[in-house]
Amino acid sequence: MGKKIGRRDFLKNSAQLSLTAAVGGTVLSRLGGGMRVGAAVENEIEVAVVTGADYHQSTFKAVETLGGIERFVPQGAKVALLPNAQRWHPGTFTKPEIVKAVIQMCRRAGAEEINVLSYLDRKNWDLTGLAEVIEAEGAELKLIERKEENFKAVPIPKGKALTEAMLMKEYLSNDVFIDMPITKDHAGNKFTGTMKNLMGLNFPKNNRLFHKTDWKTDAGAIRHLDQCIADLNTIAKPTLCVVDATEFIITNGPMGPGKIIQPKKIVAGTDRVAIDAFCTTLWGLKAEDIYMIKSAYEHGLGEIDLNKVQIKEVKA
């Protein structure tokens, strides 16, 4: 298990990274280069995959397989969670029991605050059952109004299609960011996962820059969407990703309803490219066919060749 670091040392280390002075904010101090909160461990598992019908217990085991939540959440940290509550049809949202497990782990690690962030309507959270779990576990569901003053312009120096993002100011005030998507079908690029989920941090009106005319059918428009997502991921790196790959739609995404498959897997790690590449295999896709994943690999955000990734698969 990685060495636990205090919040004071954590913030001090964060402040030393290059973009802090230019942009500000504790999460923003990791933008561009990324920072691993947990200390490196010998023979580190990069992607943990846990299969089982008890999704709450599987989530605990996936993070334990990576070395434990203490590697990622320092005592006293403010933690931002980003589950997917885009729609309430089965197989389209991160399951409440998975979110519950992550909140409980963060509490046990000594997190000072646990903030679930979204600009989606309260209805999304109520109908998915997520609001009930979040509030019962003592985390705070922060629904951000879709007003420009609630978002901060952040340049994307390495962007090929996107030169600037508008990120939630509330997100930027946290020390730790845990990305919690559900992997599923997408109407445009066919796949959504860890990287696509980060559009949930971006000002909704600014998301229009991602979508050209005929973005669901035109190859050039789909490629543009994928490139924008990869560009966005160059400036926001999750501390940890916990992916719901338990039961998800493989048609009519991302809203559904659609055909559901049930791999019953929780996938966790820090390498978004490797995680998304692995998740494509669960329903017969190939990572190299998803331009978003290829582009993120070319940006240096992770490893696309799963033969080069330390993956540990276990049963709950």
- A 10 A CB-CB count for 16 gives 9
CA angle 29, 182, 103 (to 5 degrees): 60
> Tokens 């559900």 map to which residue?
182
SS (H, E, C) 76-92: CCEEEEEECCCCCCCCC
Domains, in order of start, for the chain: 55-315 (3.40.50.11440)
Q: How far apart are CA 265 and CA 73, in angstroms?
A: 23
How would you write the pLDDT of the chain (316 residues) with one tens digit per residue? 333 344 434 443 433 332 332 333 445 544 433 333 444 555 688 999 999 999 999 999 999 999 999 999 999 999 999 999 999 999 999 999 999 999 999 999 999 999 999 999 999 999 999 999 999 999 999 999 999 999 999 999 999 999 999 999 999 999 999 999 999 998 877 899 999 999 999 998 877 788 777 877 778 788 999 999 999 999 999 999 999 999 999 999 899 999 999 999 999 999 999 999 999 999 999 999 999 999 999 999 999 999 999 999 999 8
Quote the strand ranges of the chain, DSSP E: 47-51, 78-83, 113-118, 140-143, 151-155, 164-168, 176-180, 240-245, 248-249, 260-261, 265-269, 311-315
Closest CA to 88 of 124, 46, 139, 132: 124
